[in-house]
Amino acid sequence: MLFPTVEYALFFLLSLLLAWGGLRWHAAHKFVLLALSYVFYGFWDWHFVPLLFAISLWGWVATRGIQHGARPRLWLGLGVSGCLGVLAYYKYSAFFLQGLVDLAALCGVSLNVGVESPFLPLGISFMTFHAISLMMDALRGKLDERVPLSDALLYVAFFPQLIAGPILRASSFLPQLQRAPDPARIDTSRALLLIVGGLFKKVVIANTLATLLVDDVFANPAAMSASQVLFGIYGYAVQIYCDFSGYTDIAIGCALLLGYRFPDNFSAPYTAASPQEFWRRWHISLSNWLRDYLYIPLGGSRGGSWRTRLNLLLTMLLGGLWHGAAWNFLVWGGWHGLMLVAHREWDKFWRVRETTWRNSSWWPWVARLLLFHAVCLGWVFFRCSDFSSGLAVLERLWGGAWQADLPPGILLCVFAGIGFQYVPARWLLRLQLVGIRMQPVLRGLTFAGLLLLLEVLGPSDPAPFIYFQF
């Protein structure tokens, strides 16, 4: 059930009616949201609803053991191992088995083993990360009270974030479930603005770029001119940002209308001037999760320069592998790890010298430009199914002819997707205030009119969200 569809609109309207209708009984309100979340997931494939329940239940059992057991770290090990074992089976078993077959072939041993990937459940990485967050926050004492089973199930399965995030911390979401949401405190204007903005990014910009340029460029780069390949790469950078940030904007807006607050997941990432800043702005919930639950437990920056470099590389390699069991994701993660390490060392080098040019007004723009192109280089291998396909795209970029063969609509989408990130935050706040001052009927009519306009501007067939595959 995709967000920009009539099916989801009807489902969400029904969710609002049922959830707020049962508000006077808080337990019934949460039960309704839980049931709706399982219906939402079952709309894709009912066969995997028991898996969602099992991961949630396993995380809750381990959490109860951590909170009240004599050996909390043993419970944590059992809980995390179970969740990661399920994730490894569905997402990585075929990848590692194929690697074993290839390694045996290099050694002259032929293994007649059929390698076939299990059918990947939608959103399994996100539900696994939520279950692990539940256990880790319990171990660190961030959960003040015992977690009821109903709250644990809803935390993992809450439908706005179930498929593609943002990744919620148990310590920030579970306290919201302890009290009934107050309809008088719902920021309707912000919620509707997030939903409209998210739909615009997804339906108009991301879908247009995907259908009119990006898919064709990466499917057959040899048939494209160098200018088409270049803007195909730029287009994918804009597409994946607008696709994913659009999804999370809609998710945050929908959750807000239901009375719950999600953390922001993007903060104008293409305005970053360093790799560290990029990861503080891109997929913020994943970046923080990797930092707190992987990088810091590995030792962080406490073990000296070489240990810090190794921890950064390992974290980003595993972050790349989290996106998918393929070498292209490892290449992408490794590339970002190398950028983080290189910038860290470069920054240390220049700190011991007087560098007036680094404090100039023009240097941040040069740094942004350099970083954007380095990030785009990584996106080439993220988008391609294998390393050789990525090299073919880059080869065509350097060896193809340069022609003025791009339609204005494509250029407008690329520049809009990047340019909107430089819009001052106060402009968006003013726009939100305009919505607050509107009468409810006028606000609803304006929202409906904008939805119709987006339907006209976007392509007829909505493309799946990119992060659904992760």
Per-residue model confidence (pLDDT) at position 183:
82
What CA–CA distances, in Å, run from 315 to 105, 287, 312? 30, 10, 5
What is the domain extent for residue 73? 6-185
What are the tens digits of pLDDT across the range 51-79?
999 999 999 999 999 988 778 899 999 99
For residue 460, what pLDDT band results from cuts at 50, 70 and 90? low
What CA–CA distances, in Å, run from 464 to 170, 247, 414, 442? 28, 11, 20, 32
Per-residue model confidence (pLDDT) at position 326:
82
Percent of the chain with pLDDT over 90: 44
Looking at the structure, tell me whether residues 124 and 194 fall in a common domain.
no
Looking at the structure, tell me whether residues 174 and 311 fall in a common domain.
no
Looking at the structure, tell me whether residues 176 and 267 fall in a common domain.
no
Rounded Cα distance between 124 and 437, Å, is 41
Looking at the structure, tell me whether residues 153 and 170 fall in a common domain.
yes
What are the tens digits of pLDDT across the range 126-159?
899 999 999 999 998 888 788 899 999 999 999 9
- Domain membership of residue 465 (yes or no) is no
Catalytic center residues: 323
Is residue 47 pLDDT above 80, yes or no? yes
Looking at the structure, tell me whether residues 60 and 74 fall in a common domain.
yes
Per-residue model confidence (pLDDT) at position 117:
63
What are the tens digits of pLDDT across the range 262-287?
999 999 999 999 999 999 999 999 99
Please state the three-class secondary structure of 167-224 as a single string.
CCCHHHHHHHHCCCCCHHHCCHHHHHHHHHHHHHHHHHHHHHHHHHHHHHHHHCHHHC
What are the tens digits of pLDDT across the range 390-401?
888 988 888 777
Is residue 316 pLDDT above 90, yes or no? yes
Rounded Cα distance between 335 and 287, Å, is 16
Q: How far is CA 332 from the centre of its chain?
A: 15
For residue 114, what pLDDT band results from cuts at 50, 70 and 90? low
Looking at the structure, tell me whether residues 117 and 237 fall in a common domain.
no
Please state the three-class secondary structure of 259-291 as a single string.
CCCCCCCCCCHHHCCCHHHHHHHCCHHHHHHHH
* Chain mean pLDDT for the chain: 86
Per-residue model confidence (pLDDT) at position 44:
82
What CA–CA distances, in Å, run from 420 to 6, 73, 278, 359, 416? 27, 46, 16, 26, 6
Last residue of a domain, one of 140, 156, 185: 185
Name the residue with higher pLDDT: 275 or 442: 275
DSSP state for residue 438 in the 8-state scheme? S
Looking at the structure, tell me whether residues 77 and 174 fall in a common domain.
yes
- Return the closest-CA partner of residue 309 out of 274, 332, 352, 343: 343
Last residue of a domain, one of 169, 185, 201: 185
Buried b (16+ CB within 10 A) or exposed e, 150-159: ebbbbbbbbb
Per-residue model confidence (pLDDT) at position 388:
86
For residue 352, what pLDDT band results from cuts at 50, 70 and 90? very low
> What SS3 state is found at 336?
helix
What CA–CA distances, in Å, run from 259 to 62, 248, 254, 287, 433? 28, 16, 9, 26, 20
DSSP state for residue 24 in the 8-state scheme? T
- Please report, in angstroms and rounded to a whole number, the separation of the first and last CA atoms in the chain: 16
Name the residue with higher pLDDT: 300 or 463: 300
What are the tens digits of pLDDT across the range 178-227?
888 888 888 888 899 999 999 999 989 999 999 889 999 999 988 888 88
| Number of neighbours of residue 132 by Cβ within 10 angstroms | 23
Number of domains making up the chain: 2
Two tokens, residue 452: 């119709």
- Domain membership of residue 1 (yes or no) is no
- Domain membership of residue 46 (yes or no) is yes
- Return the closest-CA partner of residue 72 out of 117, 5, 139, 121: 139
